[in-house]
Amino acid sequence: MEKPVLIREDGLRHDGRKPGELRPIRMEVGVLKNSDGSAIVEYGGTKVIAAVYGPRETYPKHLILPDRAIIRCRYHMSPFSTSERKSPAPSRREIELSKVIREALEAVVFTELFPRTTIDIFIEVLQADGGTRTAGLTAASLALADAGIPMRDLVAGVAVGKVDGVLVLDIDEVEDEYGEADMPVGYAAGIDEIVLLQLNGVMTKDEVLEGIKLAKKGAEHIYKVMKETLYKKYLKALES
């Protein structure tokens, strides 16, 4: 396929967004009955659902840590989430992303409050349209909050990309495929810490710094929406 025009003559992106504009973001918590906490998050066409179980008994026993909970995290894409069917077996990419998402959440969860237990985080990508790891991180963070697990802060994920030489916020699949760089960022806005950071592509030093600034701005907005989503459910419960 020919490379599409990513930045149009009017300076807008292929889907009409401004460079610093997010896709429409929707989220809901407490969507699953069985799990202790759950959330569904959509960034435009990207749809991700996350569930949290625990803290619960660690099995097998030899994995127990005496001074903290262990976190297990699985990022997984459904076979129908992509244009061509994705094999449900975990790919090397999914194994790596499970690790970076787990490490991002280890930075905020108070694991030391639940020694000898396990907190399980399951992320299923239902539809992939770019930014699945960052939407997954946002969903996982919401699901942890919904499960009532104490955290230092919420984490919002968003990717910054470089397309046709322009830094853009929240890239979709087309921009990821044909752009020059994809930089996923996980940001805990309340404590001002970057908990996930990767770069897949080529950037100058100034672009990296500018990109992180842009990602933080986007993440701050998502963070606000996350809080509103949680307030909506829990304040209502308190008032009734």
Partner 1 sequence: MSTTPTKQPVIPTIKRETILRLLKRGERIDGRKFEDYRNIWIAVNPIPKAEGSALVKLGNTTVVTGIKLEIGAPYSDRPYEGVLQVHAEFVPLASPTFEPGPPDEDAIEVARVIDRSLREPHAIRLEDLVIIPTKKVWILFNDLYLLDHDGNILDAGMLSSMLALNFTKIPSVVVEAEDNIIINREQKEKPLPLNLNVVTITIGVFEENLLVDPSLDEELIIDSRITFAVDENGRIVGLQKTGMKGIKQETFEAALDLALRKAKELHELIGKVLNNPQNYTKPSLALEELWG
Q: Choose which of 72, 86, 116, 221 interacts with partner 1 (CB under 8 A).
A: 72
Give the nearest distance from C-beta 68 to partner 1 in angstroms.
8
Question: 62, 83, 87, 240: which one contacts partner 1 (CB under 8 A)?
Answer: 62
Give the separation between CA 197 and CA 184, rounded to whole angstroms. 6
Total residues contacting partner 1 by CB under 8 A comes to 46
CB 186 within 8 A of CB 137: yes
**Residue with smaller CB distance to partner 1, 17 or 212:** 212
* 212 near partner 1, rule: CB under 8 A: yes
By the rule CB under 8 A, 139 interacts with partner 1: no
List the one residue from 40, 101, 149, 163 that touches partner 1 (CB under 8 A).
101
Characterize the bridge pairing of strands 37-43 and 25-29: antiparallel
103 binding partner 1? (CB under 8 A): yes
- DSSP per residue over 21-83, as a string? PPPPEEEEE---SSSSEEEEEEETTEEEEEEEEEEEE-SSGGG--TTS-EEEEEEEE-TTSSS
7-15, 47-55, 139-147, 207-215 -> range binding partner 1 (CB under 8 A): 207-215
